[in-house]
Structure formats: structure tokens, C-alpha cells
A and B are shown apart, each in its own frame.
Chain A
Amino acid sequence: MKYHIPQALVTGQEKKAESTYLLSFHAPEIAKDAQPGQFVHIKTIEAYDPLLRRPISICYVDREKGLVVLWYQVVGKGTKLLSSLKTGDSIDVIGPLGRGFDTAISGEKIYLIGGGIGIAPLIFLAQSLKEENNITAFFGGKNKEQLLPVNQLTSINCELATEDGSIGHQGFVTDLLLRRLALEKPARAYACGPNGMLEQTALITRKHNLPLQVSLESVMACGVGACLGCTCEKGSSGEEGWVKVCKEGPVFWEDEVKLL
């Protein structure tokens, strides 16, 4: 079930490094139904500019308190408006939308690979998989500050990589992934982040026969499969054509979409 909550109460907004923010709001229906990898679609202003809603992945939910938490980066008009919200304000959201990660897995060794703000949906995924599986996360970012919210949000076992080496390995998350794959064989991997990172990750997981799910982005209008605007090319497993990121995704098995 999808819900439209025109006036969800904002319960907190914290500024983090690299123009990122943690925003929480009260939406018990969404918190209850949301699956990891799903997103909410937000109207950032009542006026008509920006006109469209903005899709943001659900980063964390507190089902008892009915809270949904987002971790987002200010990149333009819509996210800038979002960052001006304060506790007590209201926010117009639709959700949970899209197909999330496949979480039918237990008793397995699982990898999460996240880059920058792409870590956000993987936090929620870890929240739901960690009881029954052995999770290792490879998270990368610009610097130590950008990765600080990770500790605040999850206690899973993380290996970090930064561009400047201020924490963890200096270099790419895929370096960490390769190093670890030389030692063990996990059952599945999940990735979200910049396209370059997803491409490199897919090259590696293919070589190691490791099933991979990726969470993709696209510009969206409706967010519910009505406009056919958010398409991405089908991968080797399908025939010619496009998939809708908002409905068939945003999470896909790596071979369902053309990453490379």
C-alpha cells in the first residue's frame, strides 16, 4: 500500500558534513510498510517551482515511534528547500514507493557496497538483515566527516575507504571489496552509489559469480509508474527496451539493467 501524507510532522533535522542532512518525520503508515530500498516522494514546496516531487531513499525507520529517517545531500533547489525544514514543520510525502531489495535471505554472508549518499538505503537494509545474516559493509566517501553518520545509524561491521585517507583505506570501496573477495565467498552483495562505483562493482561481482542487487537513480515525475519517464535500459537478462526505475526498481538484479 502506498500512502500520501500531505502533512507529516518533521521531528528532527541535523546538518552533517558535505552538505548532507539527516531528516526525520512522523509517518507511521510509511514506517510500518516500508521495505529496505524503497523511497519516498517529497513535494519540497507548495508553489510550482520546483514543480515535481523529489525521490529520496528511506535510510532508517523506527516502527515503534512511527518515524522515517532520510539521509540526503543538497545538490539543487529541491534538496535546498528540504534542508530549511525544522522540527515542528510539516512535509508532504508519498510512500513507500518502488521495489526494494530482496531480503529473503538468512544465515548467509552478505556484502553491502555503498558510496557517498548511496550508503543511505543500505543502512535500512542492514537494519533488516543483520539479525539473521553475517554482514560486512564497504562504505566509501570523500573524507572521515562524510562517513560519520554511519556510526550514528548502524552498528554493523564496516570497512571504510576515503578519497583523502582521513579514515580507513585511501582509495575506492571496490579495492576493499576485491581484497576481501580473495579471502572468502559471500552469498550475495547489494550496492548503491555513483554509476562509476556500480559499474566497477558489477565487473568484480560478475567475475566472482556473486549475485548483486543495485539501487539506481533516475529523474522522476510521477514516481508510481504512470508517466514512463524514469526509464533505464534493460540488461542482458531481458529483451530490448526499458525498465521503470520508480516501479520495477529502484532496486534491480545487476543483469536486469544495463550498467556497463
Chain B
Amino acid sequence: MIKPDMSVDIGGIRMQNPVMTASGTFGFGEVYEDFFSADELGALVVKGVTPEARIGNPPSRLVETPAGLLNAIGLENPGVEAVLKDYLPHLKGYSVPVIVNIAGNTIEDYCLVAERLSSSEVVKGLEINISCPNVKAGGMAFGSHPDMAAQVVRAVRKNTKLPLIVKLSPNVTSIVEMALAVEEAGADAISLINTLLGMAIDIETRRPRLANIVGGLSGPAVKPVAVRMVWQVAQHVKIPVIGLGGIITAEDALEFIMAGATAVAIGTGQFLNPRCCPDVVKGIFEYCQNNNIKRIGDLTGIAWKEA
């Protein structure tokens, strides 16, 4: 039997396999240690980090929906200095590339966090989260306006040499326009999707279930939307695409890869199965073996390349 080459390159970040963790669902890499080693992953993406510590939204922060999860955590994080001092050193012993998700209210915030993180030898890449709803420019999200998204990317680019992944929000009219704008501004890769804006109402109390009223939907419920967006974006950009949204099994991950993703990430799936990431790695490997696929890259975009 062949031994398929599972390695991929995401904007200069070499990964032994295409499976990454999704930001905000894996803490800072420590929480799943009892179930598998982070070194089994392609890359470890940690929680969104802002310049200052943020306490996040009040409870309740989670609502389960059919095959989905609404969350309104509100970017709770200890702030970039505490992350550098208390969280990242712990990851020194790992060989897995560590990617830090960064967020902010202003362009300056993003630049500051990027610059500070560049000083850490642990960090191998940054993922810019531009789906944060509270921003300077009249409350318009960076993630829903191509010009503003490009401005953030350009500014961050000047403050770091690290590979830049830009994480796109699905809450836009044209995902392709967003993708082209950030590619042109210097992004090395694109990840999509972040959560879909949603809400739920408790008919007993007659009030929204989330204290924040609205939240982000993730899990299997969003998968078809995410696959469609990866399909559209991957055909228009030259940089690699990381696909995520509702991946639970290797079959789900393969769908994203065939839609055009070079790598995939897993968030909510990890909550269901604490060995979700390594199980997906194994499943992809077996699929390649059984189907005589020599390199995982040969499957990327195969659904449209061979149409």
C-alpha cells in the first residue's frame, strides 16, 4: 500500500498534515493534552488575542441548536502580554507550528498585537480575525467591507514578517470580493468560515437565550454554507485556503479539500469527540491509501478541477 504524503504548505508554514484546530475551541493548546498530543496536528491555532485583557460577555454564552452551537463568548482573553508571558512558553516543547488568532477594535490594535507576537519564537504564523463586530469606523465590521479588510491586512503586514492568514466572516454579500481584497493586500492564506450570525429565543421567558442577544453559529448546521464559500473563494484566489465550519469526520474534511481547501480546521467537532482532530487525520490518510492518492494536495479543488 502507498504511504500518501499528507504534508501541506500554508503561506510558508510547513504542516505535516492538513488538520488544524479552530481558534477559540482549543484554549491555548493545553486542554486536550490528556486525549492526544498537539504534535499529531498539522498546526495549532490558539484563542483570539487582543492588546488588553478582555473579560468577554456575561452568561449565558452558549445555546445549542439542531446540529449547531450558538456562542457569544466575546473574545475573552488575557491580553497579548499575558499570552506571551504565561501561555506561549508552555508550547515551546512542541514541534507543531503554533498560529495565534489576533483581534482588535482598531487597526492600531491589530498592528500592536502582531508586532508583540512576532517577538515570540513559538509563534509561526498569525491569523487575523476580522469578524469582530465592535470597531472604530462607525461600528462597521472590518470583516464585512473589502476596503477596510484590506487596510487591516496591509497595516499588519508592515508590522510582522510572520505568515498572515486572514479569517473571513461568512456574514457578507460577496465572500469572493472579500477574499480578493485581502489577497491583494498581502495575505498569505485565507481561512473561512468564522461563525454565522444567529440568535435564539426562549419562549418561556420570551427573551433571547444569549445575554449578548446574538451569537455565532458553528457546527454541522453551517457546513454546507462553508463548503460553498470555500468552493467559490478557492477558484478565485492563488493563495491557499483553510476550510472550516462543521467538520466532525474525515469525510467532512475531504469535502472541504475537494471544494478547494489546502488545509482544514476543527472547532465544535472537538467538543463532541475529544479525539476529533487525530481521528480526522487518520481518516484522511486512509482515504488516500484506499484511493491511491499520492499527495493530499492532489485532492485540493478536485471537485471543480475535474468538472
Contact = CB atoms under 8 A, between A and B. Distances in A.
Contacts of A220: 62
Contacts of A188: none
A43 B269 CA distance: 12
B271 A50 contact: no
Contacts of A1: 34
A233 B60 CA distance: 11
Nearest to B47: A228
Interface stretch (B64-72, B160-168, B180-188, B229-237): B64-72
Q: Is the interface of B mostly helix, strand, loop or mixed?
A: loop
15 contacts: A2-B35, A48-B66, A51-B220, A53-B272, A222-B31, A222-B271, A223-B271, A224-B31, A224-B32, A224-B274, A226-B25, A226-B271, A227-B271, A230-B62, A231-B76
A240 interface: yes
A222 B55 contact: no
Given A2-B35, A4-B35, A227 B275 contact: no
A50 B69 CA distance: 10
B126 interface: no
Contacts, number: 98
A101 B38 CA distance: 30
Interface of A: 1-4, 43, 48-53, 94, 218-233, 240-242
A192 B9 CA distance: 51
B59 interface: yes
B35 A51 contact: no
Given A220-B62, A226-B27, A228-B56, A53 B271 contact: yes
Contacts of B32: 224, 226
A51 B274 contact: no
B49 to A, nearest CB: 13
A227 B73 contact: yes
B97 interface: no
Nearest to A48: B67
Nearest to B33: A2
Contacts of A225: 27, 31
A2 B31 CA distance: 10
A229 B34 contact: no
B248 interface: yes
B61 A52 contact: no
Residue with the highest number of chain A CB atoms closer than 10 Å, among B60, B63, B274: B274
A224 to B, nearest CB: 5
B24 interface: yes
Given A48-B67, A228-B76, A219 B24 contact: no
A226 B66 CA distance: 22
Nearest to A231: B59
A228 B23 CA distance: 12
B42 interface: no
B219 interface: yes
B270 interface: yes
Contacts of A4: 35, 273-275
Nearest to B35: A4
B26 interface: yes
Contact of B64 (A2, A51, A241): A51
A7 to B, nearest CB: 13
Contacts of A232: 59
Nearest to A77: B64
A51 B34 contact: no
A48 to B, nearest CB: 4
Contacts of B56: 228, 231, 242
A97 B185 CA distance: 45
A29 to B, nearest CB: 11
Contact of A51 (B27, B69, B270): B69
Contacts of A53: 271-272
A48 B55 contact: no
A52 B271 contact: yes
Contact of B274 (A94, A221, A240): A94
Given A48-B248, A221-B69, A231-B61, 17 more contacts: A2-B35, A48-B219, A49-B66, A51-B219, A53-B272, A221-B71, A222-B271, A225-B27, A226-B26, A226-B27, A226-B31, A226-B271, A227-B25, A227-B71, A227-B271, A228-B56, A229-B73
Nearest to A247: B31
B55 A49 contact: no
A240 B24 CA distance: 22
Nearest to B219: A51
Contacts of A222: 25, 31, 270-271
B220 to A, nearest CB: 5
Contacts of B27: 225-226
A4 B35 CA distance: 7
Contacts of B25: 222, 226-227
Contacts of B60: 219
A52 B66 CA distance: 10
B69 A52 contact: yes
B218 to A, nearest CB: 10
Residue picked from A1, A2, A51, A230, most chain B C-beta under 10 Å: A51
